Structure 1
Amino acid sequence: MMGLIGLTVISTCSGCKSETNGNTKVQVEMESGEKFVIELYPEYAPKTVENFINLVKEGFYDGITFHRIVDGFMAQGGDPNGTGSGGSPKTVKGEFSSNGYEKNTLSHTKGVISMARSNDPDSASSQFFIVFDDASFLDGNYAAFGKVIEGMEVVESFQKVKRVKGSDGAISKPVEPVVMKKVTIVE
């Protein structure tokens, strides 16, 4: 089972930069039609950003759910199994200080997106989470790599869905799937 922990992939992604400020932006369209935009920060976690961009370009996230939603904490998605136990075939080295990577100083503040992982610091693949509020206690232990810059109210609305007890022991598993219909690079 993948918990909150980070993954990283270092490399460059040509053709992935936004013309406005140089950072790639990703739009997530939910099944409901609502949308939000994430700005990616390769200066903090370049391999993680590259991995995420590659998955977006492959259409990996299309139709995948946010399978874990914890009030006041975060929404986690990106597992093709929808259970928290799956991921993409590729993993990335964890880009965070407790894993020997000092460049990632991005704090887990409201709207920050970060990689989920197992206890293995280099196990992140496709699962990510978005924090609802300050979660700075995660800093240095997870690869934060971007932030919701438009539509945070859409992400916050996930907390309104009915949930039951999940495998984490919390009331976190949505009764009705919270589905990412289409995830695309915004250029």
Structure 2
Amino acid sequence: MKKIILPALLSVLLSGCAQQFGNDVVNQELPLLSASEVIASATDNDWRVVDAQNILKITLPTGDAYIELNEQLAPKHVQNIKKLAREGFYKNTSVYRFVEGFVAQGGDSSGKKLIKTADRTVPAEFYSTTNKPLLITELNGDGYAPVTGFLNGFAVAQNSAHTQTWQVHCSGVFAMARDNYINSASTEFFVTIGQGPRYLDKNITVFGRVLEGIEHFNRLARTPTEGKAFNPITNIQVLGDVQSDKSIFKVMKTNSAVFKNLISARKNRVEPWFVKAHNYVDVCGMPIPTKREVIPINS
């Protein structure tokens, strides 16, 4: 016969979880506010301004997509793709490969385009290693990693010692494609456009996420049309270099109290429609609030 867990025992179990390293003690009690109400309660101090030098602007026929690069976990890939962008490598390339509900892949499909200053290949950065445990806003473990959570606005996972940290494959991540050789990542990137393929974690270098414009990848053509360029990429630029675009992106600080309250609100939904609260949210099911402000060019 199943026994009901007594409240006192449940309290002990929850307090034990809160003592784990890296868990910034997300509120374990049922939230009083909905997720939208928590976001609305955020103050200016709860948001960080994303450095425009770490944002890529991808100009597609369907619209502009903006990618925040993850310099902390994959610095070599970030440095190299910014070099590629600044030398104009991606002008008139294309998004040439789709796997529906999985990825959209782009770059130079011929593999013959001249590279001027960037490296042809970049060593794998599947995870970042630190000598000391790296503090994250911890969520929970899952079947793919003993620890998951958030670091500087990115969904991440860690080993049990918290000394290996990697960005996980959620929907909208930005990663470099490779062949069987692990250090073969070159110029071809992909964006995940469906449910996060977590089985790719630590097999591919993930080094960014879409801040805005994922719908523009989803609206691209799936098959070529005769006599028409196939999903041409007009350009990929570092946003800070684009004088005609003064967009400012702000991302909720994932180490803030309001974000921890947001996690609690997502774990246990209080909106009237919900009947069952599960006290759980997957790391890829936790949206990171992002907003954009546009400064007039003449200001």
Report TM bin, short chain.
0.7 to 0.9
Does the alignment pair 1:56 with 2:117?
no
Is residue 124–residue 204 contact of structure 2 (8 Å, CA) maintained in 1?
yes
What is residue 108 of structure 1 aligned with on the other side?
169
- Structure 1 residue runs of 4 or more that deviate by more than 6 Å after TM superposition: none
Structure-1 separation of matches of 2:171 and 2:62: 23
Q: 8 Å contact 1:104–1:143 — kept in the other structure?
A: no
Aligned match of 1:42:
71
Question: Which of residues 181, 190, 194 is equivalent to 1:120?
Answer: 181
Query: Quick check: 103-112 or 142-151, which moved more?
Result: 103-112
CA distance in 2, matches of 1:104, 1:93: 17
Larger radius of gyration between Structure 1 and Structure 2: 2
- The answer on whether the counterparts of 1:113 and 1:148 sit within 8 Å (CA) in structure 2 is yes
**Are 2:185 and 1:155 aligned?**
no
SS at match of 2:72: coil
Scaled by the length of structure 2, the TM-score of the pair is 0.47
Q: 1:140 to 1:21 in 2, by over 3 A?
A: same
Count the aligned residue pairs. 152
Q: Who is 2:230 aligned against?
A: 177
What's the offset of the Cα at 1:21? 2.9
- 2:124 corresponding residue in structure 1: 94
Task: Name the structure with the higher helix share.
Answer: 2
**Counterpart residue identity of residue 147, structure 1:** R
CA-based RMSD: 2.5
TM-score for the superposition, normalised by structure 1: 0.73
Question: What are the superposed Cα offsets for residues 26-73 of structure 1, whole Å, 9 maximum, x if unpaired?
Answer: 11111x261110110111111011111100001101110111111000
Superposition deviation, residue 118 in structure 1: 1.1
Higher relative contact order (CA 8 A, sep 6+): 1
User: For the residues of structure 1 that align with 2:170 and 2:231, how far apart are their CA atoms?
Assistant: 23
Summarize the Cα distance change of 1:103–1:62 in structure 2 as closer, same or farther, 3 Å threshold: farther
SS of equivalent residue, structure 1 residue 65 = strand
- Offset of residue 20 of structure 1: 2.6
Tell me, in whole angstroms, the C-alpha distance in 2 between the residues paired with 1:182 and 1:104.
31
Q: 1:80 to 1:92 in 2, by over 3 A?
A: same
Gapped regions of structure 1 (runs ≥ 5):
1-18, 164-173
Q: Is the 8 A contact 2:62 2:219 kept in 1?
A: no
- Aligned residue for 1:48, secondary structure, equals helix
- Unpaired runs of at least 5, structure 2: 1-47, 131-162, 241-299
